[in-house]
Amino acid sequence: MSTRVGVVTFPGSLDDRDAQRAVRLAGAEPVALWHRDTSLHQVDAVILPGGFSYGDYLRCGAIARFSPVMETIIEQARAGLPVLGICNGFQVLCESHLLPGALTRNDHLHFICRDQRLRVENAGTAWTADYTAGQEITIPLKNGEGGYVADERTLDELEAEGRVVVRYLDRNPNGSRRDIAGITNAAGNVVGLMPHPEHAVESLTGPTTDGLGFFTSVLKKLVAAS
């Protein structure tokens, strides 16, 4: 029986098909989940893709947080379901309080799109186990509201508990505090990051294939757990 990874489509999602393709390339079965679904259709993990859910009205991710599918995802994530939020998905996870902090407007007030070097800080999560701590990777980054912010106490806790998953290298692209590009919850099953690993899974279309490890990691995690 194949591992099933759900990919949620909200109104305004942009990278849901890319995430489904990455799941397929990793060897799992992608399952399309609609924002109005209350059932997750027996998936083993969930990806919240990039895009502009509900047009980014109010705040990025603020409306998506209240969609029917998120009520189920929040409940199951707290029970251990692996969940990955990419870009807008990261924003939704913060709005849902599955991850601390918030994503704000880039400090230079411009949309940015470029290949971004990162350092993997935590290779112990469900989504990063195929990497090694300290490994440097390059995957695309594209956002207008990508600056990660939190109060100093929260930032200190993230650092002390090893919950910074990936960090920007070379130069900070959006003003994220402490160069944070992605974080995890304490259990390691929920990860959010601003860059796009699903756009770096094939040498033909990506700058690298460095992003594929996010998708193979959860597959191996789930197979090992079964």
CA–CA dist 139, 120 (Å, integer): 12
Q: Which of 186, 62, 166 is nearest to 116 (CA)?
A: 166
Q: Which of 168, 161, 166 is nearest to 122 (CA)?
A: 166
Residue 36 burial (C-beta neighbours within 10 Å; 0-12, 13-18, 19+): exposed
CA–CA dist 205, 134 (Å, integer): 25
Which position among 60, 87, 95, 145 bears the catalytic label?
A: 87
Which position among 60, 95, 145, 196 bears the catalytic label?
A: 196
- Pairing of the two strands 45-48 and 4-9: parallel
CA–CA dist 169, 176 (Å, integer): 12
**Is 35 annotated in the active site?**
no
**Is 108 annotated in the active site?**
no
**Is 196 annotated in the active site?**
yes
For the chain, state the CA radius of gyration: 16
- Pairing of the two strands 4-9 and 29-34: parallel
62 touches 38 (CB < 8 A) = no
6 touches 19 (CB < 8 A) = no
CA–CA dist 98, 100 (Å, integer): 7
Q: Which residues are catalytic?
A: 87, 196, 198
